[in-house]
Amino acid sequence: MTNIMDDPLTAGPEFTSKPVGRAQGMYSTSSMEELSLVCAMNFIFTDDKYNGSTITIFGNNPILQQRRELPVIGGTGVFRMASGVAMLNTIYFDVAGGNATVEYNVMLQHY
């Protein structure tokens, strides 16, 4: 199953947190042994000095693990030629509704 996403990107995990951009991309189930997704996503920033800049993340996301690590494979604007890693931490997960709040701690190098 493949899904498309266009979710708010916020400064914090609270629903009232300041919007700073959008998380857009797609993900697809990728494993027969554990619930895992292949994710291709862009963080598109719309706030302050990062407006118009992007970070691209692509990798395997075993979503039932509390903490995960996905590679940052590129970026644009102030994040031009970015590379690094995104550490994911699930804050909230509603199995019935399919909604989640995930914290991304992104460490990268860029030019």
84 token code pair: 């690094």
The tens place of each residue's pLDDT in the chain, 111 residues long, gives: 899 999 999 999 998 999 999 999 999 998 788 889 999 999 999 999 999 999 999 999 998 898 999 999 999 999 999 999 999 999 988 888 878 899 999 999 988
Check residue 7 and give its pLDDT: 95
Global confidence as pTM: 0.89
pLDDT at 99: 83
Pick from 34, 86, 27: nearest CA to 62: 34
pLDDT of residue 95: 80
The domain spans of the chain are 2-109
Q: How far apart are CA 19 and CA 21, in angstroms?
A: 6
